[in-house]
Amino acid sequence: DTAVSQTPKYLVTQMGNDKSIKCEQNLGHDTMYWYKQDSKKFLKIMFSYNNKELIINETVPNRFSPKSPDKAHLNLHINSLELGDSAVYFCASSQAGQGKDEQFFGPGTRLTVL
Amino acid sequence: SQKIEQNSEALNIQEGKTATLTCNYTNYSPAYLQWYRQDPGRGPVFLLLIRENEKEKRKERLKVTFDTTLKQSLFHITASQPADSATYLCALEEGSGNTGKLIFGQGTTLQVKP
C-alpha cells in the first residue's frame, strides 16, 4: 500500500495551459503539504493544509491553487503555466503540522513546461 | 538573512568508512532538526529527528548530532555501504505550532564506492 501517492508522475505541457496534480495519503494524517523542488534540488514548501484548512501559503503566485476536498486529499491546480513552473512537485503528509513530526513524501510529479 | 547550508559538493568515500555530512544554519533557532534521504527520481524519506536539548541521536548505523551553539548538525553513517549512496537533506523547523514548517538544505550527495 502506497502511503502518499501522486498522479501523474510526469506532466509535459505547453505554456499557458492549466493542469492539476492529485495527491492522496492513506496514513490518517491531519496535515498535507505541497513542495517544489527546482533544478538545483532545493525543496521549498508551497502550501500546507491541516484538516482541509489552509495553514501555510508561501508567497506562491495565485496561479497555484491548492484544494483539499477531505483530509486525505490535497490537489494542486496551476493556471497559465509558465516556463519557470518546470520542477518536481512533491506532496507530503504528517500527523501534525509542526517541525517535530516526520513527513512522508509522495514520489513526485515532474512538470515540464514547453 | 536566514540560511541553511549543506556541502553542495558530492562526498565520495570508500565502502566501510564513516561518512560525515554537515548542516550549518544561520539566523534560525530551531527546536527540531531532521535528516532525510533522497534517491534519484524519488521523494525524500525520513531518517532521524533530533531535538534542541538532545546532543546526539542514533539509529542503527546512523548518528546525528545537534550543536545549537555552533548552529550545526552532523550526520554520520558508519560502516558505509554502496546502498547508502544517495542525497541527504537536512531540514529544520521554522516557526512553531501549527504554522511550523520545515526548511530544507540543498542536500549533499554521498557516493560510496565498493
Q: What is the pLDDT of residues B11-57, one digit of tens each?
A: 999 999 999 999 999 988 888 999 999 999 999 999 999 999 998 99
Whole-number pLDDT of residue A99: 74
Number of helices followed by number of strands (H, E) in chain B: 0, 11
- Taking CB atoms and an 8 Å cut-off, how many pairs form between chains A and B? 68
CB A93 within 8 A of CB A10: no
Give the B-side interface with A, CB within 8 Å.
Answer: 30-32, 34, 41-46, 49, 51, 87, 89, 91-104, 106-107
> Among partner residues A42, A45, A102, which is closest to B101 by beta-carbon distance?
A45
Backbone angles phi, psi at B68, to 5 degrees: -75, -15
Distance from CA of A52 to the nearest CA of B (A): 13
Cα B68 to Cα B95: distance, rounded to the nearest angstrom: 16
Ordered mean pLDDT values, 10 residues apiece, chain A (114 residues): 91 97 96 92 91 86 94 96 97 84 95 97
Tell me how crowded residue A111 is: count the other CB atoms within 10 A of its CB: 21
CB–CB of A98 and B93 under 8 A?
A: yes
> Among partner residues A48, A50, A106, which is closest to B43 by beta-carbon distance?
A106
Q: What is the DSSP letter of A18?
A: -
Cα B52 to Cα B73: distance, rounded to the nearest angstrom: 10
- b/e per residue A12-30 (b: at least 16 CB within 10 A): ebeeeeebebbbbbeeebb
A33, closest residue in chain B (CA to CA): B101
- For residue A91, give the nearest of A55, A62, A66 by alpha carbon: A66
CB–CB of A98 and B34 under 8 A?
A: no
> Which carries the bigger pLDDT value, residue B102 or residue B76?
B76
A43, closest residue in chain B (CA to CA): B104
> For residue B86, which residues of chain A lie inside 8 Å, CB to CB?
none
Percent of residues in chain B assigned helix, strand, coil, to nearest 5: 5, 55, 40
Q: What are residue A50's DSSP bridge partners?
A: A31, A53
Residue written as cell 495553514? A55
Asked whether the bond before B82 is cis by omega within 30 degrees of 0, the reply is no
CB–CB of A99 and B51 under 8 A?
A: no
Q: What is the pLDDT of residues B44-90, one digit of tens each?
A: 999 999 999 998 999 999 999 999 999 999 999 999 999 999 999 99
What is the β-pairing status of strands B11-14 and B86-94? unpaired
